[in-house]
Amino acid sequence: MMATKIYIPRDSSALSMGAEKVAVAIALEAKKRGLDITIIRNGSRGLYWLETMVEVATEQGRVAYGPVKAKDVPSLFDADFLNAKNHPLSLGLTEEIDWLKKQQRLTFARVGITDPVSLDDYIAHDGYKGLKKALTLSGAEIVKAVTDSGLRGRGGAAFPTGIKWNTVLGCQADQKYIVCNADEGDSGTFSDRMIMEDDPFVLIEGMTIAGVAVGATQGYIYLRSEYPHALKALNEAIANAEAAGYLGDKICGSTHTFNLEVRRAAGAYVCGEETSLLESLEGKRGLVRFKPPLPAIEGLFGKPTVVNNVISLATVPIILDKGAQYYADYGMGRSRGTLPIQLAGNLKHGGLVELAFGITLRELLYDYGGGSATGKPIRAVQVGGPLGAFLPESQFDTPLDYEAFSNIWAVVGHGGIVAFDDTVDMAKMARYAFEFCAIESCGKCTPCRIGSTRGVEVIDKIIAGKDTAKNIKLVRDLSDTMLNGSLCALGGMTPYPVLSAMNHFPEDFGIAK
């Protein structure tokens, strides 16, 4: 008889709920009972409230159990879960779980399914098809496919990826670089982390395609220091790709060279801004650069550089494999394709939902999120990280679309959605937005460096009920200066959470609605 295959995630959120202990307990229990099993450490399916989710391979497909704690393990064996028998934690066939079944997973096609660091597994699940296709095309043809797909930068700025690549392609230089911005620092976001921990090869493949397209031979992944598990998975995957000839000289027998290295960031939020990131990679303080010159023309070490977010790069392989049109057929308006949305904060069912652009916040919060975790009404939602606007219930019908959000003075950003119940104090959230900006400001421009600290002081006066009308006006003036006078989005967008909190929830600031 073949050993039964058991899948237990190695994803750090699953580990945060005890996945390692569950894996150890299952291995021990099987040994004790003399049962033959093979444990595969897969990525997470992204249904985080069900972690640790254990899956058993059957002829019908994988059957899931969750949330499993180490103490549940003996009872799972007693119930004969190895033969997919019933147990109070049974979830049925994984692929049939409604939450997962309704999704449109393109970038996340393999996440949770494969062993993240197994190259064989990656290739068996359509991996490296995009690169194989790219190697038959010219650089200009690859760039055209990315442009035609409508892919826009998923890091937050939503700049068309193909246009960026085209600029680098058009530059003459002895050295060009591909830099992956993996400094995912926005609260409420974890899709980059999931890709890097749970399907690192797709990022490696995307960067390799970018290198082939624009003629860059060196890539760097600038990774947050808060993600040690991602670092481990990426380094393992890079070593495996190198050993099999997918990285290095003459990749896949072609004339192209592409080398890849992970560089650790060091906890500065501002280094998620591309020019600050480049300074940091060069070994300097992460001070934001003036633009122009654009990084595409004078980037890392002064050379033409593509700087893209993890999700943007990880989406390139499927575009090359299935064609630009296939990807562009998803979405609405000028927001083409899918967005890996992250449901976070005070929600019952938090996790990763990849869907075409166009779904409304309300559907995400209630149909997927299941309402608040505390059972209280959801009062406010922050979309797009600490620099994103707070939205009240009256705006929950806005579809997730770059332009629709822009029309209500909000941002989609990196697709992170943080829900707050009715115990939230929005004046405190506005204060925190200024405080965060003050802690993380690089200090190069005055509106951000000084404005953030003055902002905290003025909000404190408002909270204390001191000269409220005068101080509200002062915050609006200050916000106007930061919005229009800051060098980058940190100072320039801090007014989004501050003013949206003030506009939509004036009662928390002691002013009439």
Partner 1 sequence: MQDLETKQNLDVRLEALISEHQDMPGALMPLLHAIQDNIGYVPESSYSQIGKALSLSVAEVHGVVTFYHHFRTHKPGRHVMQICRAESCQSMGSEALEAHAKKCLNVDYHQTTSDDAITLEAVYCLGNCALSPAVMMDEEVYGRVSAEDLDALIAEARA
Minimal distance, residue 90 CB to partner 1, in Å: 22
**Least distance from partner 1 to the Cβ atom of residue 256, Å:** 20
Q: How far is the CB of 134 from partner 1 (least distance, A)?
A: 26
Contact call for residues 368 and 436 (beta carbons, < 8 A): no
| Residue closer to partner 1 (CB basis): 29 or 226 | 226
Please say which residue, 116 or 130, places its beta carbon nearer to partner 1: 116
Q: How far is the CB of 504 from partner 1 (least distance, A)?
A: 16
Question: Is 3 or 239 the residue whose CB approaches partner 1 more closely?
Answer: 239
Sites of contact with partner 1 (CB under 8 A)? 12-13, 15-17, 48-49, 51, 184-190, 192-193, 224-229, 263-269, 280-286, 301, 342-347, 350-352, 373, 382, 386, 416, 418-421, 424, 429, 432, 436, 439-440, 442
Residue 68 is given by DSSP the state -
Which residue lies nearer to partner 1 by CB, 87 or 264? 264
Burial label for 255, CB within 10 Å (0-12, 13-18, 19+), is: exposed
Report the nearest approach of partner 1 to the CB of residue 20 (Å).
9
- Residue 377 exposure: Cα atoms within 13 Å on the Cβ side: 5
Closest approach, Cβ 354 to partner 1, in A, equals 14
Min separation Cβ 235 and partner 1, Å: 13
Residues paired with 360 in a beta bridge: 399
- Backbone angles phi and psi of 320, in degrees to 5: -70, -40
**Choice between 227 and 509, CB closer to partner 1:** 227
With helix as H, strand as E and coil as C, how does 208-248 read? HHHHHHHCCCEEEEEECCCCHHHHHHHHHHHHHHHHCCCCE
Q: How does 219-254 read in b/e, with b if 16+ C-beta sit within 10 Å?
A: bbbbbbeebebbbbbbbebbebbeeeebbeeebbee
Q: H-helix or E-strand containing 61?
A: strand 61-65
Helix/strand/coil for 67: coil
> Smallest gap, in angstroms, from Cβ of residue 335 to partner 1?
23
Sign of CA dihedral 207, 208, 211, 212: negative
Token code pair at residue 124: 């068996």
What is the full DSSP assignment across 113-135?
Answer: TS-TT-HHHHHHTTTTHHHHHHT
Q: Which one, 78 or 282, has the nearer CB to partner 1?
A: 282
- Measured from the CB atom, the residue of 44 and 471 that comes closer to partner 1 is 44
What is the smallest separation between the CB atom of 283 and partner 1, expressed in angstroms?
3
Residue (169 or 281) nearer to partner 1, CB? 281
Return the half-sphere exposure (C-beta side, CA atoms, 13 A cut-off) of residue 228.
2
Output 187 or 453, the one with its CB closest to partner 1.
Answer: 187
**Which token pair is 224?**
């947050």
Q: Which two tokens stand for residue 277?
A: 């990131």
